Amino acid sequence: MAPRNLVLSANAGSSSLKISLYETTGSTDDNLEPVKLVLTSSISNISAPPAKFTFKVVGGTSKDEESSSIQDHASAFAHFIECISHEANIDQDHISHVCHRVVHGGDYHDPVLISDEAYHHIERLSDLAPLHNGASLAVIKTCLEQLPSAKSIAFFDTAFHRSIPAHISSYAIDQHIAKKRGLKKYGFHGLSYSFILRSVSRFLKKPVESLNLIVLHLGSGASACCIQHGQSLDTSMGLTPLNGLPGATRSGAIDPSLIFHYTNRAGRMSHDKNSAVQLHVTQAETILNKQAGWKALTGTTDFAAITARRAKDDPDATLAFDLFVDRVLNYVGSYHLKLGGKVDALVFSGGIGERSKELRALIGERIQCLGYASVDEERNIGVDSTEGVVVDVGAADSSTKRLLVCRTDEQLEMARQCTMGSM
């Protein structure tokens, strides 16, 4: 077999790991992909074993199993590496680059080759992305050990949002302290937003720089982004991925004082520092990041199950679903106004945005008053069976603002940037 130039992309989530392996095509044409998919793997339920492991070679074998040997992100990645030689007969030495999605990059914007310094920079930011950066570092570490001849490169979710102006990214707090400690809105899901922007630009046949979009990335973590002239103007996540929309286990935006009143002990907190009962910051973080969101409201993190229960009038599921619609509308309304009503399209993406026809139908109905196309029932129901990265779900004869679904792919975005860049 001729040596292949392979690029691996790893996307570490809070309890999942998505991995894609690509072969470079050598194409430099902007309308063609510079990489071709070889295989994909996903490992879910990492934090609630047994983990579920899937492995699919394009046009070849596939594997779907529960694995008790996967206990964390490091063992999940190691299991995948074993599989590529055993199941797909691929020589690891042909992997030249490994791209790692790192959620919080702080003041790092460009992709960076992993060095001691870069590793420690990402480690220092772990407190600001408690569900994510640690998981990425575990994968990076395993990768350096198991694939020592490949270049490991970190790509940051925060990079896309560096264009957000200061009056939008700043919090109304002491700016001396804010600057010293880096306390500002960073925003996340940036690799996804880059991918969506490029895909929608191709779909609408309009240059990236001309596009004004409102994009909803609704997955385990959910965020909205306001894109003006092809750049992030605002986004709903903030200093950390906790702010903004609620998620699988995250509360989203709350009154910051709520946490001090959440437990009885903390509720008795007084302004007299000697009598204050302290709620430790890590406990607050755990409650809001891991014990809130859909899990707290309904007992499940699966939005499809919530939707099914709502159809049977389950009150908890109805509350969760309607609350989500309400919070999404907050951002759509606000971003529509920030764009002066000049919006090319509203884009749904992420696991929920791409699969929940019910959520799209309801949000579509509510925003029609702002001049968006009405949801075409047949197109909306048919998204799963429609090919293509971008699918139009708006009424066909509409001259109004478009309603699109984009199958986002953070792994492909990294592989593409890696191949087109100077790494």
Ligand X SMILES: Nc1ncnc2c1ncn2[C@@H]1O[C@H](COP(=O)(O)OP(=O)(O)O)[C@@H](O)[C@H]1O
Of 76-84, 350-358, 362-370, 398-406, the window that binds ligand X (rule: CB under 6 A) is: 350-358
Using rule CB under 6 A, residue 310 touches ligand X: no
Using rule CB under 6 A, residue 244 touches ligand X: no
At closest approach, how far in Å is the CB of 18 from Mg ion? 8
Q: Is 87 annotated as a binding-site member? A: no
Q: Is 11 annotated as a binding-site member? A: yes
Size, binding site for ligand X by CB under 6 A: 16
Strand order in the sheet with 345-349: 231-235, 222-228, 213-218, 345-349, 402-406, 390-392
Of 1-9, 59-67, 218-226, 337-345, the window that binds Mg ion (rule: CB under 5 A) is: 218-226
At closest approach, how far in Å is the CB of 188 from ligand UVW? 4
Size, binding site for Mg ion by CB under 5 A: 1
Strands 213-218 and 222-228: antiparallel
Using rule CB under 5 A, residue 353 touches Mg ion: no
How far apart CA 13 and CA 15 sit, in angstroms, is 6
CA 65, 68, 72, 76 dihedral sign is negative
Q: Which is nearer to ligand UVW, 4 or 52 (CB)?
A: 52
CB 34 within 8 A of CB 43: no
Q: Which is nearer to ligand UVW, 80 or 188 (CB)?
A: 188
Please pick, from the candidates 21, 159, 233, 248, the single residue that binds ligand X as defined by CB under 6 A: 248
Taking CB atoms, the residue at the shortest distance from ligand UVW is: 221
Using rule CB under 6 A, residue 112 touches ligand X: no
Using rule CB under 6 A, residue 301 touches ligand X: yes
CB 174 within 8 A of CB 183: no
Residues of this chain that interact with ligand UVW (CB under 6 A) are 13-14, 103, 157, 188-189, 219-221, 241
Please pick, from the candidates 187, 190, 219, 293, the single residue that binds ligand X as defined by CB under 6 A: 219
Q: Is 218 annotated as a binding-site member? A: yes
Active site residues: 157
304 binds, options Mg ion, ligand X, ligand UVW, none, Cβ within 5 to 8 A by partner type: ligand X
How far apart CA 7 and CA 97 sit, in angstroms, is 5
Using rule CB under 6 A, residue 303 touches ligand X: yes
Position 384, amino acid: D
Closest CA to 21 of 90, 103, 114, 110: 90
CB atoms within 10 A of CB 159: 21
CB 11 within 8 A of CB 217: no
Using rule CB under 6 A, residue 133 touches ligand X: no
Using rule CB under 5 A, residue 219 touches Mg ion: yes
At closest approach, how far in Å is the CB of 387 from ligand X? 18
Q: Which is nearer to ligand X, 111 or 241 (CB)?
A: 241
356 binds, options Mg ion, ligand X, ligand UVW, none, Cβ within 5 to 8 A by partner type: ligand X
At closest approach, how far in Å is the CB of 194 from Mg ion? 14
Taking CB atoms, the residue at the shortest distance from Mg ion is: 219
Interacting positions 3-42 with ligand X (CB under 6 A): 13, 16
Residues for the chain: how many in total? Answer: 423
Of 22-30, 98-106, 219-227, 285-293, the window that binds Mg ion (rule: CB under 5 A) is: 219-227
Q: Is 217 annotated as a binding-site member? A: yes
CB 51 within 8 A of CB 67: yes
Summarize as ranges the residues that interact with Mg ion (CB under 5 A): 219
Binding-site members for substrate are 101
Binding-site members are 11, 18, 101, 217-221, 410
Summarize as ranges the residues that interact with ligand X (CB under 6 A): 13, 16, 219-221, 248, 301-304, 307, 350-352, 355-356
